Amino acid sequence: MSTTISKPTTREMQKAYLKRDESYDGVFYLAVRTTGIFCRPSCPARKPLPKNVTYFASTREALFAGFRPCKRCRPMEANGRPPEWVNKLLARIDEDSSRRLTDGDIRKLGIDSARARRYFLKHHGMTFQAYCRARRMGTALDQIRRGADLDEVALGNGYDSHSGFREAFMHTFGKSPGQSRNADCVVITWVESPVGPLLAGANREGICLLEFTDRRMLETQFDVLRKRLDCAIVPGENEHLIKLRKELGDYFAGELRDFTVPLVYPGTPFQKQVWDELLKIPYGRTRSYEEMATRIGHPGAQRAVGTANGCNRIAIVIPCHRVVNKGGKLGGYGGGLWRKQMLLDLEQGKSGLRTLFEESARAPHASENGHNCSPLQSRAR
């Protein structure tokens, strides 16, 4: 999955944030050098001078450049809802995923095709056109598995010839349509959450991916998943993802303690031991890396346990956030320590859900454009 991301021009970004254009939220972030914070383009605070602004394509880039998230517009805590113009595109695809949408079709919707390309590269790891092709291929594979005629599948998914469809299908799945009656794929979708958008994936057996979209290891997780399950990854939905979305909603509402959605988590024998043990940690409780190592029969292997913990591909449901350092200190977390603290606070019934930004701030840092921010403590699991 490609992760090459380009930003709009500086002139376009400056115009967007001066207008507080929320349709650019998620397309870029602006950081204020004089205050050390970064915001969404739509941030309601007083607009900084353009000469003091630096632009980033992702929150990850801003964090690693040393900027702190704004406490007013909360760029790290997006609810995952795409801008309205993206909803319009997604709705058009959902109406008929077999239809090819050209750049001209996109412009007729009042959407700039280059802007769509940047957004889909950033949030889905592929251009808008690649996203549409992947959706068509995912639909085609499902039809083939259900016994549909190959010619009907090819022509029904926007291809003029069987050979063109076969070539595209081979490129996506690594095998011909005729060899794919029993083939599987991983379908991925976005899930909204109070701690930011999550990327969820499932095959026909169950959930195999649930990761924060700004996770540093996300690209690696995709590569490992492809190899472990020997199948392609395409946009889509299935019954397991629908169930996961419902259970996550109940979990964040404090109404669910034990997930029942089926899980698929292939790994090395040691990794499987660690992940199986993670599933045994009770809701609202924590265990140390040292205790985890002892429980799986490898006393003293807490570093190896930490490494396996960091390779967990199904966040929250396989609760790696419940493992802490000896003495109760949080340790690392791929989604950021602020998320780890929020998840533990939720499970332990604490009110207020204090983030590490607030915990670590000895005093509020009043910024030039009206924000109060506190330092980021950690960026890696």
Q: What is the DSSP string of 21-47?
A: -GGGBTTBEEEETTTTEEE-TT--SPP
Domains 10-75 and 84-179 share a fold: no
Q: Are 355 and 341 in contact (CB under 8 A)?
A: yes
Average pLDDT over residues 141-157: 57
Could you identify the residue written with the tokens 């598995």? 145
> What residue segments make up the domains of the chain, in order of their start?
10-75, 84-179, 186-252, 269-311+319-359
Q: Is domain 10-75 given the CATH code 3.40.10.10 in the classification?
A: yes
In CATH, the architecture of 84-179 is Orthogonal Bundle (1.10)
pTM: 0.58
Q: What is the pLDDT of residues 81-110, one digit of tens each?
A: 667 788 788 788 777 666 677 888 888 888
Average of per-residue pLDDT across 183-209? 84
Residues taking part in catalysis: 39, 320
Rounded CA-CA distance 308/290 in Å is 13
Q: If you average pLDDT over every residue of the chain, what do you get? A: 77
Q: Which residue has the tokens 């016994």?
A: 147
For residue 229, pLDDT over 60 is answered with yes
| Model pLDDT, residue 368 | 32
Fold observed for domain 269-311+319-359:
Arc Repressor Mutant, subunit A (1.10.10)
**Residue closest to 325 by CA, chosen among 339, 342, 305:** 305
Q: What is the DSSP letter of 235?
A: E
Q: Specify the DSSP class assigned to residue 111.
A: -
pLDDT for the residue numbered 372 = 31
pLDDT at 379: 28
List, for residues 346-375, the tens digit of each pLDDT value.
Answer: 998 875 443 333 333 333 333 333 333 322
